[in-house]
Amino acid sequence: MINNKMEPHDAAGEEMPADLRAVVERLKDVPRAVVSHDLAPEILASIQRDRMRRRRLAIGLAAAATVALVFGARLWFGGQGVLPADLAKAGSLDPARKAITWLCATQEPDGSWSTARWGGDKQFEPALTALSLMTLLGDPEGAAAADKSTAWLLSRQQPDGTFGDTFSGTPYNQGIVVLALGRAYEIRKDEALKAALDRAVAVICTRQYADGGWGYNHEAHPASNLSITLWQIEALRVAAGQGRPQLQASVERGLRWMAGVASDDGSFGYQKSGDTPGGASQTLTAMGAMSLLDGAHAGLLSSSRRQAMVAQMRRSATNPGADMDYYRRYFLTAALKRMGEEIARRDLGVIRNDLLAQQVTQGPEAGSWTADTRWGSAGGRIYATTLASLSLR
């Protein structure tokens, strides 16, 4: 019931003006209204229904805006060759994805990557294309580019099973290409690819020296060296795991030679213990650790040498030096990952931050790494980008 009783005074107790008092007096003559029920619940329900209608409208508008945003993003990023999974991160793709995007954009129509275009040595084009292939493998965005690069590499295989032109550095091409194609075969079980690998691994085994290592091609005085030996071992390891158990003997001989160039302080030499040309001690030690830091071959190094090697790895990770040696960082991260220890994971974070700080973030080369570093003249921007990207995984 509504109470219509009103007094001729305002809220402060002051007397009302004459005109307002006249209105109040007339209102007293209005009969009291009695309602059949309390209106408050109906009023509250009406307010709630109005709120719900406005909420549904807001949700509908938000959904429409999201659809428009997704559709617009697909049009834009699809035209650029990139479709990020999370639109909230569309403006800041992760570093590995940026590198893959750059590699896909710079691939030549024939499936290779031009060393002339990116500052490398043309003779190493098979190896650099193989490194690009390894970077792309397993990523949906890079699948088409990976297929094209695989086809190009197969087209570069000579009748004798080697890849590319014959020169002193041919073993680098051979080891790196076989490693990349071996990993590609793990994804795509292709018989033509298997046949090419069979011919290629036969070349590696044939060219292994009597001491168990590998060296440069056509040397007057053949001598094993750690750098070339490592790539052959890694390639044969992958190939051996694909139904070629006979290759394991070559792997074991190579690892024994490698263990023979280790020193008591945990470092590795290039051709013999203590031999570190060009101040490459950290890189050579990372190579040795990469191949020997696993349980299957722990016995090839004494316990004291193994502990010293781990200490060397930690020092190298936390004190990388001023030069950005992507080659060393690639082997160092691979070795630390094989250690599988918590302390190694922390060291990997240091290397990762170091690499991220060097990645190009603006302009047409965004996603790549600059090549004005050690070995940059041999591999160019492709070498820097692929090894940095592989190190971040």
pLDDT digits (tens, 9 = 90+) for 266-281: 999 999 998 888 778 8
What is the three-class DSSP state of 359? strand
DSSP letter at 88 equals G
Mean pLDDT of 130-144: 96
pLDDT at 26: 66
144, 133, 109: which is closest to 181 by C-alpha?
133
Whether the per-residue pLDDT at 78 is higher than 60: the answer is no
In the chain, domain spans: 94-392
d(CA 148, CA 4): 89
**Cα-based angle 143, 115, 369 (whole degrees, multiple of 5):** 70
Q: CA distances (Å), 138 to each of 144, 184, 311, 378, in order?
A: 11, 9, 33, 27
Q: Band of the pLDDT at 58, cuts 50, 70, 90?
A: very low
Q: Which has the minimum average pLDDT: 5-9, 133-137, 177-181, 360-364? A: 5-9
d(CA 368, CA 378): 17
DSSP letter at 33 equals P
329, 326, 316, 320: which is closest to 368 by C-alpha?
326
Q: Band of the pLDDT at 203, cuts 50, 70, 90?
A: very high
Whether the per-residue pLDDT at 115 is higher than 70: the answer is yes
At 243, give phi and psi (nearest 5°).
Answer: 90, 25
Q: Band of the pLDDT at 76, cuts 50, 70, 90?
A: very low
d(CA 86, CA 387): 26
- What percent of the chain lies above the pLDDT cut of 70? 73
Q: Which has the minimum average pLDDT: 15-29, 133-147, 148-162, 203-217? A: 15-29
Q: Band of the pLDDT at 65, cuts 50, 70, 90?
A: very low
Residue, of 18 and 198, whose pLDDT is higher = 198
d(CA 377, CA 115): 10
Whether the per-residue pLDDT at 228 is higher than 80: the answer is yes
Q: Which has the minimum average pLDDT: 35-44, 116-125, 145-154, 161-170? A: 35-44
CB 351 within 8 A of CB 333: yes
What is the average pLDDT score of the chain?
Answer: 81
pLDDT at 251: 96
pLDDT at 16: 60
CB 135 within 8 A of CB 99: yes
87, 98, 177, 176: which is closest to 139 by C-alpha?
98
Whether the per-residue pLDDT at 337 is higher than 70: the answer is yes
Which one of 3.30.70.360, 3.40.50.300, 1.50.10.20, 3.20.20.10 gives the CATH number of domain 94-392?
1.50.10.20
Mean pLDDT of 315-324: 72
At 260, give phi and psi (nearest 5°).
Answer: -75, -15
Residue, of 314 and 163, whose pLDDT is higher = 163
CB 202 within 8 A of CB 178: no
DSSP 275-314: --GGG-HHHHHHHHHHHH-SGGGGGGS-HHHHHHHHHHHH
